[in-house]
Amino acid sequence: MTRHNGELYVGERKLSELAKTYQTPLYVYDETGILDKIRIFETFFTSQKFACEVIYASKAFLAPRLCHILNDHRFGIDAVSAGDLHLIEKSGFDPHRIVLHGNNKSDEELELGVAMGVEYLVVDNYPELIKLKHLSETKKTVVHTLFRVNPGINAHTHAYIETALLSSKFGESIYDGAMMEKISKTYQESPYLVLDGFHAHIGSQINNPNSFTKEAKTMMAFIRKFQDAQPIPIRVLNLGGGFGIKYLDDDQEINLENMLGKTVKTVESLCKKYEIKLEKLLIEPGRSLVGDSGFTLYRCGGNKQTVGGKNYLFIDGGMADNIRPALYQAKYTVEIANRADSTIKKDTKIYDVVGKCCESGDIIAKDIPIPEAQDGDTVVVYSTGAYCYSMSMNYNGLVRGAVIFVNGKDAFIAINRESYDHLIETCHF
């Protein structure tokens, strides 16, 4: 992002002009930023002891153009539904680099994953393992799996995105020895199921690198204990993702380079300590790969001051295109893209940036210092590249905005803006 004559630019494109050309709300991705993040993972997530594989967590954001970029760099991608699998397959992505997740996969999703030949099917729980055993025997198809376990690590993040407490709905506890024995026995009895390794994920938006070091140590100790008790060699460890990004100036941003290198070195040393012949280490970045390369543009519809002195800046979107503030109390940095000259900062007011949905909780950002807003201004909300479009909806009859990728002077439509006909195409009249 650069500034020229009071205007914000991404690459060589003026944000206010992008807003006019593609309409608002508009999701914009800086493709150069995504490629820079890819290079960080390629450079620092590597080992001479075992293979390192990056699996993009597609729930953060999914579109064919992003699939093409990831495929070109031989990254993997995860899917959590039949819909994900369908889109990824249609994009031409290599199915042998897909990892299928989900805590309650339908028969359709399991069958589709097996038929596509995904790299790993992550089994979330024992009942699902039994279901998959019957499916593999019916299809007479070998299925490579990772089993999701819960390491019981407090990641110190928002409760809704913390996934490894012992009360979590995800996985089976590593401390349940009887369950581990049942799991092992089921694999041993199956001629088609292969337990390649284990998967764990401790949560999202984690800024402390020590959380991932602790996860690696806990999982490697568990693998040693499991192999001592069960005659199944563990070759693969998937540590999940959850690497945090900055949303506000004073947020702590995880140092990806250091975290990745430290994690690899930790696993390497523990392989030697525990005599584990690990062949592959996986991680699943989502937000950290696309989150801070994406932002949302809105049109200001005016402002008002209440009798109590509260200033509101109205935008032509809101919780329908960004549910995170209402759901997680997420916070964002906001600017006026067409009046970004630092000399006017003395004229700022404190605003709540609010949407047009009929909800008092439709607030994108609270108590934000912004130059006095005017009708027609282009409002930019930063770091919306993850969990915004993917969680968007048609509440109040609002249509989803377009998604574009910008690279230098070029802009590409990744997802079209919805029309009003989209709202009725599944309806019967």
Structure-block tokens of residue 406? 């910008």
For every residue of 153-206, DSSP letters joined together read ----S-GGGB--STT-SSSEETT-HHHHHHHHHHHHH-SSEEEEEEE---BSSB
Residue 70 contacts by C-beta under 8 Å, 6 or more apart in sequence? 38, 56, 76, 77, 93
CB atoms near residue 48 (< 10 Å): 6
Please state the separation of Cα 18 from the chain's center in Å.
25
Q: Is 83 helix (H, G, I), strand (E, B) or coil?
A: helix
3-state SS, one letter per residue, for 368-423 = EEEECCCCCCEEEEECCCCCCHHHCCCHHHCCCCCEEEEECCEEEEEECCCCHHHH
**Burial class of residue 158, CB neighbours in 10 A (0-12, 13-18, 19+):** middle
CB atoms near residue 201 (< 10 Å): 25
Say how far apart CA 27 and CA 35 lie, in whole Å: 18
Sign of CA pseudo-dihedral 39, 40, 41, 44: positive
CB atoms near residue 388 (< 10 Å): 25
CA quadruple 223, 289, 110, 74: dihedral, nearest 10: -90
**Burial class of residue 347, CB neighbours in 10 A (0-12, 13-18, 19+):** exposed
Which of 35, 36, 47 lies closest to 262, judged by CA? 47
Q: Vertex 95, ends 91 and 99: CA angle to 5°?
A: 110
Q: Is 328 helix (H, G, I), strand (E, B) or coil?
A: helix
Residues recognised as catalytic: 358
Judge contact between 236 and 120, C-beta under 8 A: yes
Say how far apart CA 345 and CA 340 lie, in whole Å: 9
Say how far apart CA 77 and CA 54 lie, in whole Å: 8
Structure-block tokens of residue 83? 């819909």
